[in-house]
Chain A
Amino acid sequence: DTEVTQTPKHLVMGMTNKKSLKCEQHMGHRAMYWYKQKAKKPPELMFVYSYEKLSINESVPSRFSPECPNSSLLNLHLHALQPEDSALYLCASSFVSGANVLTFGAGSRLTVL
Chain B
Amino acid sequence: KQEVTQIPAALSVPEGENLVLNCSFTDSAIYNLQWFRQDPGKGLTSLLLIQSSQREQTSGRLNASLDKSSGRSTLYIAASQPGDSATYLCAVRGDRGSTLGRLYFGRGTQLTVWP
Contact = CB atoms under 8 A, between A and B. Distances in A.
A95 B64 CA distance: 22
A104 B107 contact: no
A101 interface: yes
Contacts of A107: 41-43
A102 B34 contact: yes
A55 interface: yes
Contacts of A105: 43
Nearest to A6: B43
A33 B28 CA distance: 23
Contacts of A55: 101
B102 interface: yes
A6 B93 CA distance: 23
A104 B44 contact: yes
A104 B101 contact: no
B42 A106 contact: yes
Contacts, number: 54
A98 B89 contact: no
Chain B residues touching A, majority SS? strand
A27 interface: no
Interface residues of B, number: 24
A7 interface: no
A102 to B, nearest CB: 6
B108 A42 contact: yes
Interface string A78-107: 000000000010101000001101111111
Contacts of B63: none
A92 B89 CA distance: 15
Contacts of B31: 98-99
A109 interface: yes
B95 interface: yes
17 contacts: A31-B101, A42-B89, A43-B44, A43-B89, A43-B105, A48-B102, A50-B101, A88-B41, A90-B43, A92-B44, A98-B93, A98-B94, A101-B49, A102-B34, A106-B42, A107-B41, A107-B43
Given A42-B107, A98-B32, A101-B32, 11 more contacts: A43-B44, A56-B101, A90-B43, A98-B101, A99-B31, A102-B34, A102-B46, A104-B36, A104-B44, A107-B41, A107-B42
